[in-house]
Amino acid sequence: MDDQLERKNNTIPQSSQSQVSQLELVEKLNQLGESDNNREEVTGILDSLAVALRDEEDLSLLRQVGRVAANLVIDCDENRERLVSTGYIDAVLSHSMFSLEPKVSLAPAILAIMASLHNLSVDKNTTLLEESPTSLEESTLNSLLQPLSSTSSDLDTHLHILTCACNSLESAATPEGPLHKHIVSRISDLTEFVEKADVPDTAEQAEEGEEEDEEEPVDYTKTLSAAKASIVRILVDLSSELPSLSSFWSKMRDWLVIKDRPDLLNCALLSFGNSIKDGLVRNLSIPTDNKTILGDAGIIEKLAEMGIWSEERDLLGSVQGGGASIVKNLCRGNSANAIRFLRQPLDPLLNLIQRADDQALRFECTRVLVEVIKTLSSAQESLAHVSDQRVVASLVKMLVDGGQYQVLQMDAVVSLVLLGSFGKNDMRSTIAKELGGPGLQVLEGMTEDPKQAVKDNAKALLKIIDQ
């Protein structure tokens, strides 16, 4: 009997025998994962599978390994550490499957692998971030980006893969993450997905036609939106590192005028807001022609309608700062936009300046007032609408608090000079009153500045309040 069994085994192709033994290892790994005192045995099996996966072409083994790995690391940092240290990520992402064009037949294997990578990277697992394998570079990025540009007739599976891929990207693209330095070069892939990915019409029709007595249908649109939200968070995080001439900022300005897409508008606002560092926005200037286009498109009115500077939005400081940055740039040198801005109530912006704890946010909001005052003065337009005690108080506060940034102090002084010269008749006394104490001390100090322009502007303001 034993001889017959041995002869039977000898007739099985070597590759099939190898696959059977590997699947047995997978099953054993699944069982071991449920007990605690098995570190050496688990590590040994993982080592064997990592080697096997590099040469194994069969997708069923890859799918089973991904399935078991995903289960093994759920809420278990110790098992996550084992998988990373034994080369699991290197092994699965070097598989030839990831170099193929997306196909329906690949979906089960990709789903299992993406699920395991997602479970590995949740909670920003320290092992994954500190001991990143060599494959967590461009090849890995390509593998994770693949679902963003592919489609499948099996929508449930595809959206599951997409969700896992987006979540894994978000975890690995953080500043301390292993993919951070590579993902900037692929930012156009991310914006393309956020802007254009959509649920097929056939899926929406099928969803509407579900029987009432069946299980609750999957909300495909909601699932896709959640995946996009992960990518939006990546874009916003990266925005602070992108140069002002990056095409990303052109895309963000385009998103400001796309109708009926609040997700794109919010991404743009958050990105502009995230570019504010220490109260000074990098030169994200808007070209002259675009200022007119964006103004005519009603961007300033739309921001006012959104109530971005209302108290209810205070938890979204980046959105508030982004809105201020956009309006500031639109009003700079464009009197039509400055007038558009003043047609909206000033109270929300002024109230935000008074209550904001974030100094950078206060400065950026105050610089909106600076650009409006300077632009209207240059165009010889009336300053009546900004001849307000709260406007003066905001400018004086920036003068006092902005000692680290002389450009802010100069902005405040110039704006106060213009208000005192061309504002309502009571502006001079209002400015003198608000400058009393700390403001006056700062101003007198500026008269001793070695820079002639600083000295001259400070003296001009002192002369106005003395009259």
Q: How far apart are CA 265 and CA 319, in angstroms?
A: 10
Q: Is the pLDDT of residue 135 over 50?
A: no
Q: Is the pLDDT of residue 128 over 90?
A: no
Which has more confidence, 427 or 149? 427
Q: Return the minimum-mean-pLDDT range out of 240-254, 339-353, 391-405.
A: 240-254
- Tokens in use for 346? 């000033």
Which has more confidence, 177 or 212? 177
Q: Which of 149, 154, 172, 78 is nearest to 109 (CA)?
A: 154
Q: What is the pLDDT at residue 199?
A: 80
pLDDT over 90 for what percent of the chain? Answer: 32
Q: What is the pLDDT at residue 37?
A: 47
pLDDT band at 134 (very low <50, low <70, confident <90, very high): very low
Which has more confidence, 313 or 253? 253
Which has more confidence, 404 or 338? 338
- Between the alpha carbon of residue 117 and those of residues 113, 169, 412, the distances in Å are 6, 10, 52
Sole residue written with tokens 């000033």: 346
